[in-house]
């Protein structure tokens, strides 16, 4: 099991570079950013690369209903990102037929991004099987350790059907530390619970109380114990829930360090 650190896209460059340098010192293997309409994840990764050029980088995830394969390829080139170090997480966004969309998108993505490792955002069983059968990895989001273990079995089943090894399974684990940790996790989770039908269905399947899907620890020992439960993930991507400052983010990175 390896460990990455993830943030929301749009982190200030000086914060991103300092955080990346600290994560490299702490032994993280990769740095990740999400992608949203207000900021591009690939641009945040470019700032990370200035502080820790030897780490792998990942964006989790770019919705293909907002950005095309052509646009993504152009951004990677424009930003000077090393495609050999890049894990590109992609998802269907608000596509009406998400499984079909992600199956049909793959050939063009392979053609335009031949060196980039493609990771499929997967929650339901069919999408997990597609990740296992056709993509270079699966990316989980908002899962408990037990639920992630079940979804990993779906990824493994997809790989077995295609007669190749199971690709790596990544997953965001929202993580907060300190006296306000529980409140930070609850606030983040409440936003996603009602974001769209896909998330509403997902949280209904989880059937977990609000504010409990992730890690909220009073201190580093509590954080480490909770993260250790995510044994189904090959890479835990610690998604830091803190103020977007050097001190705020590095406090989470320190507490959750591998």
For residue range 94-140, what is the model confidence (pLDDT) as tens digits? Answer: 888 999 999 999 999 999 999 999 999 999 999 999 999 999 999 99
What was the pLDDT predicted at 96?
87
pLDDT digits (tens, 9 = 90+) for 135-148: 999 999 999 999 99
pTM above 0.85, yes or no: yes
Answer whether residue 91 is part of any domain.
yes
Whether omega for the bond prior to residue 61 falls within 30 degrees of 0, making it cis, is yes
Q: How far apart are CA 122 and CA 212, in angstroms?
A: 20
Task: Write out the residue range of the structural domain in which residue 51 sits.
Answer: 2-172+230-237
Answer whether residue 134 is part of any domain.
yes
Answer whether residue 90 is part of any domain.
yes
- Predicted confidence band at 244 (pLDDT cuts at 50, 70, 90)? very high
Burial of 23 (0-12, 13-18, 19+ CB in 10 A): buried
Answer whether residue 249 is part of any domain.
no
CATH number at residue 118: 3.20.20.30
How many domains are contained in the chain? Answer: 1
Query: What is the DSSP code (8-state) at residue 82?
Result: -
Q: How far apart are CA 208 and CA 144, in angstroms?
A: 9
Answer whether residue 159 is part of any domain.
yes
Q: Give yes or no for a contact between 223 and 217, defined as CB atoms under 8 angstroms apart.
A: yes
What was the pLDDT predicted at 218?
97
Answer whether residue 23 is part of any domain.
yes
Answer whether residue 156 is part of any domain.
yes
Could you give the residue ranges of the DSSP H alpha helices within the chain? 13-26, 41-51, 69-79, 98-112, 125-134, 145-162, 181-193, 197-206, 220-227, 246-255
pLDDT digits (tens, 9 = 90+) for 7-65: 999 999 999 999 999 999 999 999 999 999 999 999 999 999 999 999 999 999 999 99
Answer whether residue 204 is part of any domain.
no
Q: How far apart are CA 167 and CA 169, in angstroms?
A: 6
């Amino acid at each position: 099991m390896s460990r990455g650190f993830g943030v929301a896209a749009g982190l200030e460059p000086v914060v991103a570079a300092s955080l990346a340098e600290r994560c490299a010192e702490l032994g993280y293997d990769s740095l990740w950013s999400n992608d949203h309409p207000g900021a591009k994840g690939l641009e945040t990764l470019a700032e990370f690369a200035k502080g820790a050029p030897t780490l792998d980088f990942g964006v989790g995830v770019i919705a293909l209903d907002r950005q095309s394969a052509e646009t993504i390829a152009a951004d990677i080139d424009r930003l000077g990102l090393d495609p050999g170090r890049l894990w590109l997480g992609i998802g269907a966004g608000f596509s009406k037929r998400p499984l079909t969309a992600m199956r049909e998108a793959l050939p063009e993505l392979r053609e335009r991004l031949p060196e980039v490792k493609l990771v499929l955002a997967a929650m339901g069983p069919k999408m997990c099987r597609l990740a296992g059968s056709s993509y270079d990895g699966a990316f989980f989001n908002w899962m408990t350790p037990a639920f992630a273990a079940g979804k990993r079995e779906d990824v493994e089943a997809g790989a077995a059907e295609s007669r190749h090894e199971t690709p790596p399974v990544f997953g965001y684990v929202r993580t907060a530390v300190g006296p306000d940790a529980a409140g930070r996790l609850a606030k983040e989770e409440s936003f996603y619970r009602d974001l769209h039908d896909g998330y509403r269905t997902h949280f209904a399947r989880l059937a977990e109380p609000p504010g409990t899907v992730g890690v909220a620890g009073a201190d580093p020992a509590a954080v480490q114990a909770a993260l250790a439960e995510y044994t189904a993930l090959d890479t835990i991507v610690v998604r830091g829930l803190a103020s977007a400052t050097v001190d705020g983010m590095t406090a989470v990175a320190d507490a959750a360090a591998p």
